[in-house]
Structure 1
């Protein structure tokens, strides 16, 4: 998370404010003192325009998946 923030020239205060958390909480995430919740990762991915998979290191492709216009199977 640190690398992508730096690459986009964002300050810790910018990210913390966008996510509605304290700067100290964000610092704990960056230093791996604390694990972000899934909902925070989703909000961060939306803010940065990347996929959650990219944030957690499951892919090198930052492109978020495209949303399908059809509803998921089993939903009406």
Structure 2
């Protein structure tokens, strides 16, 4: 699921929830809910995270196990 992917990406990049919330221009609590699967992540946020982490949106959404795509 996407929420596990965004948590794993954040941890792999040694970022805090607050740092990623700042990237998305949202509150930490909102981002935490995305990460825990409590709140559905909007498309614009998926696109922004894919750009930030240099991975494909398919990877974030769990449609592919390959991180690459347009960013490789």
Q: TM-score range by the shorter chain?
A: 0.7 to 0.9
Higher helix share: 2
Let me know the Cα RMSD of the aligned residues.
1.1
Check if 1:9 corresponds to 2:18. no
Length-normalised TM-score, structure 1: 0.81
Larger radius of gyration: 1
Q: Which runs of 5+ in 2 are unaligned?
A: 1-5
Higher normalized contact order (CA 8 Å, seq sep 6+, divided by chain length): 2
Gaps of 5+ in 1: 67-76
How many residue pairs match? The answer is 66
